[in-house]
A = this chain, B = another copy of it.
Amino acid sequence: MDEKARKYVDMFRQVKIASAATVDEGGHPRSRIINIMIASDEGMYIVTSKGKPFYSQLVKTGEIALSAMCPDCQSLKFWGKVKMAEKKWVDEVFEQNPGMNEVYPGDTRYILDAFLIYQGSGEWFDLLHYPIRRESFSYGMEEERAGYLITDACTGCGACTAVCPQKCITEGTPCIINASNCLQCGACREICPVDAVRSLYKSKATQ
């Protein structure tokens, strides 16, 4: 894991409270609040108990999406792959999160299994400052791309700069989107008279 990815994995652990999304047996989205229990260079560890639909969904799909909000309104989102970890990680989780003993006292902890999120791609997003800022990160796989690119088909008419809510497009031929300040709202693509704005979004999940 590179330094940038580790920074954001540590941020998930620091916030601790995250939302975990999975796809259920019928292909429907599911979500619940979980804790990021351990951050390491291998990824993020979570726990859940054998009797929960969440557990079956993790085992069956091997996938998870996370999102979290930092106290200062920076947000994180992430998609990744997950696998069950050895039982010793349950003990390690309780070691690093002693509050867990109040919910699962004594040996009752062993109804839990630990899961390692061993690869994934995510994004940090700060909506509170102007201009907004975003940064991508990943570990164990390439970063997922998102947002828009203005191609050489651009005639420099400036229609996109006029409608951009964040004024993050520099005029020119072609105009240039400053991706780190972009809301990815798509207003530039909607207005472009020559269809010069191309979506960069290509889900890594589908590859």
Binding site for B on A (CB under 8 A): 17-33, 49-53, 61, 63-69, 75-79, 102-105, 108-109, 111-112, 125, 127, 130, 132, 146, 148, 163-166, 183-187, 189-190, 199, 201, 203, 205-206
Closest Cβ neighbor of A57 among chain B residues: B29
Kindly list chain B residues whose C-beta atoms are within 8 Å of the C-beta of A28.
Answer: 23, 63, 65, 79, 203, 205-206
Say whether chain A's binding surface is mostly helix, strand, loop, or mixed: mixed
- Given A21-B29, A33-B69, are A51 and B189 neighbors across the interface (CB < 8 Å)? yes
Q: How many copies does the complex hold?
A: 2
Q: Report Cα–Cα, A20/B21, bound state, in Å.
A: 8
- The reply to whether A53 and B201 contact each other, CB–CB distance below 8 Å, is yes
Closest chain B CB from A83 CB (angstroms):
16
Known A19-B19, A103-B165, A108-B165; judge A27-B27 contact (CB<8 A): yes
- Are the C-beta atoms of B186 and A25 separated by less than 8 Å? no
Question: A85–B133 Cα gap in the complex (Å)?
Answer: 29
Listed from nearest, the 3 A-B pairs whose CB atoms lie closest are A51-B186, A19-B19, A21-B21
